[in-house]
Amino acid sequence: MTETPQQQFHRVRYHVLREAMKRSIRGFVLVRVLVNLWLMLRTRSIIHPLARIDWNVTIGRRCFIGKATIDTLGGNGRIEIGDGSIIYSECDLMCHHWSRIVIGRDVLFTRKASAITGGHKFADRDATIISQGIATADIVVEDDCWIGYRATLLPGVRVGKGTVVAAGAVVTKDLPPMVVAGGVPAKVIRQR
Burial class (CB in 10 A: 0-12, 13-18, 19+), 147: buried
Q: Evaluate the CA torsion angle 94, 100, 106, 107 in order and state its sign.
A: negative
Q: What is the pTM of this model?
A: 0.80
Domains of the chain from N-terminus onward: 44-191 (2.160.10.10)
The residues that are catalytic are 120
For residue 29, report the phi and psi dihedrals to the nearest 5 degrees: -75, -45
Determine the Cα–Cα distance for residues 2 and 48; give it in Å rounded to an integer.
51
69-96 residue pLDDT tens: 998 876 788 999 999 999 999 999 999 8
49-71 residue pLDDT tens: 888 888 888 999 999 999 999 98
Burial class (CB in 10 A: 0-12, 13-18, 19+), 141: buried
